[in-house]
Amino acid sequence: MESFSSNSARSYIGKNVNLHLKDGAVIVNVHLTALHRNAGKNNNLIEYTPNGNHRITCLPLRSIAWAEMLNLNFLKVPA
Helix or strand holding residue 77 (H, E)? none
Q: Which residues is 27 bridged to in the sheet? A: 19
| Average pLDDT score, the chain | 86
Half-sphere exposure of 35 (CA within 13 A, CB side): 17
Nearest to 8 by CA among 57, 58, 69: 69
pTM of the model: 0.82
DSSP state letter for 61: G
The pLDDT of residue 38: 79
What does the pLDDT average to over 45-69?
Answer: 90
The pLDDT of residue 46: 93
Task: Provide CATH code, domain 6-69.
Answer: 2.30.30.100
Neighbours of 9 (CB within 10 A): 20
Highest mean pLDDT among 1-10, 16-25, 51-60: 16-25
Q: Does residue 16 surpass a pLDDT of 80?
A: yes
